Structure 1
């Protein structure tokens, strides 16, 4: 290696060591525990630990609650990612307009929910969705509509949580998209405008290809985040009603820390890791196909 390469590795070494400590090592331990029956009995005596191979994975495939949690998680991701990215991109486009005043103030106000506590904001939104005292149902009553049990109805619990998650997280992607829009070549925009291209055509053929890598990054991060959703349903519904908001991470938490079946919980974590890895690889391949990478 050259002198510059050795210096680069030297500067990166502390960060790589931290990544290995907080990511690689726990991942390897989870993989090791996923092939054992590690439980509360093994905590007291390691002689109670047994190797079960793929037994935990086979048990998961025959557990209806796991499949329900997996379906709920995919529904959260399938509905939440377009909502989060679409909202953040729309707001970024609005704030990118030169006619908008007080842009820094709007960006701070819209970004503020992202840096607030998830638990605190989830508690506030739980009261907003309250069937008897919530402001949302009071607004419905003011226009003559009956109240809705948003968090107590299996048909409305996921949309209610998705509304909260979108409000909570879209500020991050909004800032990222704002930076990407600022880097769009203005000469191309001006050339398209002179050629008679309307707003939609300029967005479709100039803006969208220019922010393609940023859009791909936001999609990867958003899908990974929604597949790992836990705190919101835990605080707002505790996985209910009728397990309609039980997610894979919520199922893993209960297996590991409610029933102390840590081997099976590790198997769930490994399956979730493989899901996120596979989806990320597919998205990266799509990005290369459209020359976004």
Structure 2
């Protein structure tokens, strides 16, 4: 019987696996763009590039230029070496680190204490107390800073009037270096304690009740239960609140700008406030960009160190 040989058309249509060629890059990109998810992501990605990635790249490039008389000149790292000789940069960093060392631990401790108290089943009107504690977090930064400025006015301020009832003389809250720092720290603590309290409260409610029962069976008291059960379980939450509070302390601007303007004698000057004065009052945008990138690097280093320290198990 004769065997029919395949025609040229059949040979062309039949390919072995080794003969299969991968689609071209253009066809692969076109196939990917057919996926509906990419079209949903595209507007957000475009906004991210336009309003975040592009300004970041421009500010980094601008930090290597100096503009005088409308002419930009490439100066390399001169803007960064200038920061090493600028006493106000060191002063602003010292003020920010002081707020970081004093205010952040105080605020986190208050937030943990309030969250632990408001999580107790025996406390009545817990929802109302939680709402009252969280209310400062939803007030605008400018509004509450103006209110604090009015309260802490030396002559006729509400706080000095209240202190006079106890025989305490008027305190110059906003024009004395020490008390100005106290005023800034107090205002920040009032504003953000409730915000961190809600996050820590969510962490408390995620702790399994069996751990409390096991501690009670082992004879642990309230303090032992809190220290050996609650705190270890809250470690991820405490890391998150500590890192975000650290970033907030280093980026502090509104409170200092409205309450004290960075004074007196630059006692409350922060890096972001100094950056604002350099960029938008002196119009030295190259130097302001260099300060901004120095602050980004410093914030990242402190956050990484803080994360590693708190992540280690005792």
Identify unmatched segments of 5+ residues in structure 1: 43-47
SS in 2 for 1:148: coil
Q: Identify which of 22, 28, 46 aligns with 2:51.
A: 22
* Alignment-derived partner of residue 284 in structure 1: 307
1:166 has 2:189 as partner: yes
Kindly name which structure, 1 or 2, has the bigger radius of gyration based on alpha carbons: 2
- Aligned equivalents of 2:289 and 2:50: distance in 1? 18
Identify unmatched segments of 5+ residues in structure 2: 1-31
- Aligned equivalents of 1:287 and 1:84: distance in 2? 17
Q: Say which structure, 1 or 2, has more relative contact order (CA 8 Å, 6+ apart).
A: 1
Q: Identify which of 107, 112, 115 aligns with 1:84.
A: 107
Q: Identify which of 32, 56, 62 aligns with 1:33.
A: 62
Is contact 2:247-2:299 (8 Å) kept? yes
How far did residue 28 of structure 1 move? 1.9
Indicate how the Cα distance of structure 1 residues 12 and 192 shifts in structure 2: closer, same or farther if over 3 A, else same.
Answer: farther
- Aligned equivalents of 2:200 and 2:160: distance in 1? 34
Q: Identify which of 72, 76, 87 aligns with 1:49.
A: 72
Q: How does 1:51-200 map to 2 (within 5 A)?
A: 51-200=74-223
How far did residue 13 of structure 1 move? 5.6
Indicate how the Cα distance of structure 1 residues 7 and 158 shifts in structure 2: closer, same or farther if over 3 A, else same.
Answer: farther
Indicate how the Cα distance of structure 1 residues 120 and 57 shifts in structure 2: closer, same or farther if over 3 A, else same.
Answer: same
- Aligned equivalents of 1:17 and 1:197: distance in 2? 56
SS in 2 for 1:49: strand
How far did residue 87 of structure 1 move? 1.3
Using the size of structure 1 for normalisation, the TM-score is: 0.90
How many correspondences in the alignment?
Answer: 281
* Alignment-derived partner of residue 250 in structure 2: 227
- Aligned equivalents of 1:83 and 1:19: distance in 2? 35
How far did residue 9 of structure 1 move? 7.2
How far did residue 12 of structure 1 move? 5.6
* Alignment-derived partner of residue 45 in structure 1: none
